[in-house]
Amino acid sequence: MQFHLRFEEQDLAPYVMLVGNPQRAEQVSRLMNNVKLVNDYRYLLVFTGEYGGCRLSVATTGMGAPSTAIVVEELCNLGAHVLIRVGSAGGIAADVEAGDIVVASGSIRDDGTTPQYLPLAFPAVPDPDVFRLTLDSAKSVIPTAKCGVVISSDAFYRNYDDQKMQLMMQSGVKAIEMESGCVFIVSQYRGVRASALFAIDGSVTKHAVKPQSAEEHFKNAEGRSIQIGLTTLVKCAEAGY
């Protein structure tokens, strides 16, 4: 039993979806069969059940890199093999709108936790095999799904200045969120496979951060991103990752 995930190894499936919001974990659990809540300590909800004939888990990380690192570490200790982050993000690129899906090909590490693991020169990237399966699953659900680098930042309320944001747009950065860099780095450090995808809830560069008018588009994308994540985990299980 871990400090924060208070369940036994046999209660966790090797294939785990990571979500920040505990309500999203509950949403995912309702799509599973024979589902069981195995952790609610600190409201880091973890459910284990069956989907598509495979045993899967969904785990809450909370917001930001520090709590995400704790959860990923403890999931690794409990036997996780594959971790897929399914979350929300704000669009940066001009072609990214609320309701889009973005699959991360890499993450810019703008956090204070991952340098404690590996130097900033070390790239935060998904496992190539799981990334390919994630992107294939996304394209099969939404052919217009985007793929590219995202920013993983600790400071939700501290925006980049216009010059830096213009540089990010010019360089093709798709979105900004808070956890993927940590998921990638800790997974690489611990020797497990990981990928990440996001439902876009607005646009940082168009001054439309989580606009109420886009809520329905985001909810649709959120549901699709969950479907993509579950499908990818099943594919990973079938591939024996």
Q: What average pLDDT score do residues 218-222 get?
A: 96
Task: Indicate whether 217 belongs to any domain.
Answer: yes
Over residues 190-218, the pLDDT tens digits come to 999 999 999 999 998 887 778 888 899 99
Over residues 108-139, the pLDDT tens digits come to 999 999 999 999 999 999 999 999 999 999 99
Over residues 33-70, the pLDDT tens digits come to 999 999 999 999 999 999 999 999 999 999 999 999 99
Enumerate the β-bridge partners of residue 198: 87, 102
Task: Indicate whether 2 belongs to any domain.
Answer: no
Q: In which band, very low, low, confident or very high, does the pLDDT at 165 lie, cut at 50, 70 and 90? A: very high
DSSP string, 17-44: EEES-HHHHHHHHTTSEEEEEEE-GGG-
Crossing angle between the packed helical segments 128-141 and 215-239, to the nearest 10 degrees: 130
pLDDT at 45: 98
CATH code (residue 27): 3.40.50.1580
Res 146 pLDDT > 90: yes
Q: In which band, very low, low, confident or very high, does the pLDDT at 26 lie, cut at 50, 70 and 90? A: very high
Which pair of tokens denotes residue 174?
A: 């798709």
Task: Indicate whether 3 belongs to any domain.
Answer: no
pLDDT at 97: 93
Task: Indicate whether 119 belongs to any domain.
Answer: yes
pTM over 0.95: yes
**How many domains does the chain divide into?**
1
Residues sharing a CB contact under 8 Å with residue 173, sequence separation 6 or more, in sequence order? 92, 93, 108, 148, 149, 150, 151
Q: What average pLDDT score do residues 143-161 get?
A: 94
Task: Indicate whether 42 belongs to any domain.
Answer: yes
- Residue of 13, 14, 25, 51 lying closest to 222 (CA atoms): 25
Task: Indicate whether 48 belongs to any domain.
Answer: yes
Task: Indicate whether 1 belongs to any domain.
Answer: no
- Name the residue range of residue 93's domain: 9-239
Task: Indicate whether 138 belongs to any domain.
Answer: yes
pLDDT at 187: 98
